[in-house]
Amino acid sequence: MDHNVGSSLCFPKLNSSCRRLVRPRSEAALFYTLLAFISLLTVMLNLLVIVSISHFRQLHTPTNTLLLSLAVSDLVMGLLVMPIEGLRYLEACWLLGRLMCAVTPYVSYCLVSASLGHMVLISIDRYVAICDPLHYSSKITLNRVKCFVSLCWVCSFFYNGLILMNHLEQPDRFSSCHGECVVVISHIAGTADLLITVVAPCAIMVVLYTRVFVVAVSQVRLTRQQTVIGIITAAPIAKRSEWKAARTLGVVIAVFLMCFCPYYYPSLAGEDISTSLSYFAMLSWIMLTNSCVNPLIYALFYPWFRKAIKVIFTLKILQPHSREVKLL
């Protein structure tokens, strides 16, 4: 075998090996540095969210419990999925074996589905907080939210096990050479997945946030009228902090959908969803970068997150009774 040919193979000793994508050293170094930076940034930012909400007692609220679970999903995405997927696309080789070929897509799909489920739960949380503030504390309790979060994770693992059942049983059935990991979801299964994990949740979120917007407009008008005529009413009105939270989480949901929906372009185009598609890497990475964006949104819109970061980086978090620090 010619040395130049062998050096471009994923596994040089195997004639059935796939070909490695050979890049100039400077270009490869740049891509690997960028991959390491994005993965590390995703892990660090989401770790800050997890530490903040877990440590400070004042942040132990139903809404923040949803954000905590979402941050765990994003952290695992940055810690495991991003490096592995980045290695696959940079090398054009699957070097981690048959077992990891089966497990990695399954974990990735579960994380995405769980994140989408969290977005729906966040929409419901904001809907109740704005549209029925009088009964919010009785309807949305911490224990109830924990139960729904657990149910969301269980359903995600079960549902994606069904979607990827054939791939989990035989991960190399679509591989054309040694060193390739191809995941294919048929057009029928992809369309069903599109309806279940995109259309239905998006419809729920749009309806709930439309209702929140309508209530927001009506409450602003009511407050102005009361101010003009000097009448004070006992009608329940959502707190200003609830409105800010609704706005911030609305941004989180909108950004998530913008990153998530392009992934289903093959289903909309009448194709099978396959990791071998020429443009799949771009769609996949648009979705993956959302895990890094969420904490940045919190930093921009949540003062408590910025205060928590300050306490953590100044090491005041190590002081006694730091759990009782007031951040809100």
CA nearest neighbour of 117 among 81, 86, 84, 160: 160
Per-residue pLDDT tens over the stretch 58-111: 999 999 999 999 999 999 999 998 898 888 878 778 888 888 888 888 998 899
Per-residue pLDDT tens over the stretch 151-175: 999 999 999 998 888 888 888 887 7
Domains of the chain (ranges, CATH numbers): 25-322 (1.20.1070.10)
Least confident interval from 68-82, 177-191, 304-318: 177-191
The enclosing H or E element of 273 equals: strand 273-274
2 confidence band (pLDDT: 50, 70, 90): very low
Q: Are 95 and 87 in contact (CB under 8 A)?
A: yes
Cβ partners under 8 Å of residue 11, min gap 6: 17, 178, 179
Rounded to the nearest angstrom, the gap between the alpha carbon of residue 40 and the centroid of all alpha carbons in its chain is 16
Average pLDDT value for the chain: 81
Instruction: Work out whether the CA dihedral 208, 210, 214, 217 comes out positive or negative.
Output: positive
